[in-house]
Each structure stands twice: as C-alpha cells, then as structure tokens.
C-alpha cells in the first residue's frame, strides 16, 4: 500500500476488509491471500506466488508479435475467470447470507496466467482502495475505467452482473485484438467513462470476422448495457464458454495453455512486455529479526476464525516498533538491576558489614 495512505483510516479499513474477503476465498481460479501485515509504515499482502505473466502483458506481447490469441485459449481463460468470480459472488457469511461481493476491477491486468497453465484472479475489492490512491497520484489507474460496467461508471449500486459486463469487455478485446473503450493516452477519464456509458459497441464479427459465432454471441450478451438482459451470473458465462469448448477443443486444458504461453514468451523480446498499470512501492527491508507475525496470518483455511481478523490499531509513524520497545525495556531492566546492586553495596559499606 502506498505509504501516503497508511495513516488514512478509511483507506486502511478498506484494505483490511479486502483482506478479510480474500482470506475466505477457496477456489483454484483465485490467487490465495495468506496475510495482511504492517512494517515500517507500509501495509502489505502476503499472497500466493504465481510464476507467470498477467493477461494484459500476455496480450500486449501477442500484439507486439503481430498475432492474436487463439479463440480457444481466450474461451478457456475467460471461463476460468468466470468460475472464480462466481465463487466470490456466491460466497456466504457465517450467518448464511450472501456477502454480495463484486470484484469491481475485472481487467486483464488482474488475471495471472501461470507457466503451468493456471488462471488466477487477483485484487478483489481493490478498486475502492485504488480510488483513494488516485486522489494522491494522478493517472495511475486511468486505464481501469475502460473495464467498468455502465452502472459502475454512473456510480450506481452494483451486483454480480457488473463483473459480467467487465468479462464481456475482456472477451471482446482478446478476441478482436484491440481495445473496446480504451482511448488514447491523452484522453481524460471522463471521456473513457462517457464511452463506457454511451459509445456504440460494434458487433465482434464486424471487427474480427473469423471469430466463432458462438463466442460473438456470448460476448454480445455480456456487453448488453441493460443488466437485466445480461447473463444472470458469471457461472452462466462459464457454462456457455465450456459448452463451446466441449465441441471446438475438448482436450484443451492447463497443459495446452501452459505450452501456448511458453511459446509466446519464448518468441517475445524483453521490451515487448508491458509495464504494470499500477506501480507498487517497494517494501522496506524486512529480515527475520524484524518480522513480527501478523494477527492475520493463516494457513489456507476457510472460513477464517473471527478472532484472527480483528482490525488492527493504527499507530502514528513515531510510535516505537515492538523491537525498539523490547530493547528499551531490556536496557531499563539492566539499569534497574545495576541501581539495586549499587544501593545494596552502599548499605553494606555504611553498616560496616563490608
């Protein structure tokens, strides 16, 4: 988390809430979160390491090579994304009621593709924190507006169908090998938001005629601005994509995706990889002696025990660390022992006993 937000109670509370949600997820298409910690004024997540590349960077590499992703691979990846989203959308609290989770930031940059062919969603709920970051750092999340739903762009209440629209944007862009609502870098966020709400959405096959009709139809349904006309859940999107895959490529799976990604990266020059849209500040040096286990540390368990998720006390930057406090107490204890021993010796000398 950016240091300038670490003393912002509302931003930290949002981060804590995201950690609580992420630690409840138990799905192969969602990257696991193990811990939320705080060190030298910086909040951080400890997450599952995914050895691979994000989907946005992969698409950038493919475009730089003058190619486009195989529609089979696109359908497989987006189906996995939809399954992960559906798991989050349907997650229930300890009282049995749905938590009403909406990702809010479904975009290629928030999808990791591992070298083993795994698809992993990241950054659930981070859009709220990102909005805070934008107030301080101009432009760092400008590109994410292009993946919002119309209702999100209009600041209306959201449900799972907002993420379905964002899935549709990802489908369109990956299959068409071009942006849908993305504007030139000089365009204002307002122009992008206006495009999301009002700009005409071209039929996918008018942009890329060889896209299979079934995939074009699924994409069009997801991109309906009337949310009542979209698929009612992310699971419906996954089911439709899986039905097409069962006929078009019944053997395509993680091994095939891993081979495809490895081939793309082997052919790509290093400069073809796109930088991350949101730069994360480096964590200050953290060694074994200074690490203090967080109350959020868990070992992949669902649900998380409530007593492991207490909101931490936010202390000012001048507040001493636990290590400094222990060192101070040790010095104080040594001084106290020395003082008592000195007084005892002085008393023994005065009384003639020494």
Catalytic member of 86, 105, 163, 277: 105
Can you tell me the distance from the alpha carbon of 322 to that of 315, in angstroms, rounded to the nearest whole number? Answer: 12
CB 232 within 8 A of CB 82: no
Instruction: Give, in order, the Cα–Cα distances in Å from 169 to each of 140, 141, 150.
Output: 20, 17, 12
CA–CA distance, 335 with 158 (Å, rounded to integer):
61
CA angle, 143 as apex, 228 and 121 as ends, to 5°?
Answer: 65
Q: What single string gives the DSSP state of each residue in 184-245? A: -TTS-HHHHHHHHHHS----HHHHSTTS-HHHHHHHHHHT-SSGGGS-SSHHHHHHHHHHHH
Dist. CA 201–CA 172, nearest whole Å? 10
3 state DSSP class of 17: helix
8 given a catalytic annotation: no
Active site amino acids: 105
């Amino acid at each position: 988390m950016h240091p300038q937000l670490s003393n912002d109670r509302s931003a930290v509370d949002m981060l804590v809430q995201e950690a609580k949600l992420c630690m409840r997820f138990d799905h192969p298409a969602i990257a696991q979160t193990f811990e939320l910690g705080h060190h030298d004024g910086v909040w951080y997540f400890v997450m599952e390491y995914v050895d691979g590349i994000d989907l946005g960077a992969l698409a950038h590499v493919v475009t730089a090579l003058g190619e486009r992703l195989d529609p089979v691979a696109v359908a497989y990846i987006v189906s996995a994304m939809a399954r992960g989203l559906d798991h989050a959308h349907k997650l229930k609290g300890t009282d049995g009621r749905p938590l009403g989770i909406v990702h809010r930031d479904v975009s290629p940059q928030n999808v990791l593709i591992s070298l083993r062919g795994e698809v992993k969603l990241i950054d659930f709920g981070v859009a709220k924190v990102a909005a805070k970051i934008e107030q301080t750092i101009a432009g760092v999340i400008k590109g994410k507006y292009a993946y919002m739903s119309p209702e999100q762009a209009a600041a209306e209440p959201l449900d799972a169908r907002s993420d379905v629209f964002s899935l549709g944007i990802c489908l369109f862009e990956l299959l068409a090998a071009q942006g849908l609502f993305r504007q030139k870098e000089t365009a204002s966020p307002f122009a992008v938001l206006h495009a999301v709400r009002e700009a005409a959405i071209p039929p996918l096959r008018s942009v890329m005629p060889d896209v299979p009709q079934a995939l074009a139809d699924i994409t069009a349904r997801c991109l309906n601005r009337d949310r009542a006309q979209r698929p009612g859940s992310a699971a419906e999107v996954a089911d439709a994509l899986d039905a097409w895959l069962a006929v078009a490529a019944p053997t395509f799976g993680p091994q095939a995706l891993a081979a495809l990604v490895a081939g793309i990266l082997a052919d790509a020059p290093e400069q073809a990889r796109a930088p991350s849209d949101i730069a994360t500040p480096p964590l200050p040096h953290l060694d074994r002696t200074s690490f203090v286990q967080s109350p959020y540390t868990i070992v992949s368990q669902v649900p998380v025990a409530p007593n492991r998720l207490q909101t931490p006390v936010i202390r000012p930057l001048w507040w001493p660390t636990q290590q400094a406090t222990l060192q101070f107490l040790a010095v104080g204890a040594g001084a106290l022992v020395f003082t008592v021993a000195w007084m005892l010796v002085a008393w023994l000398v005065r009384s003639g006993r020494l």
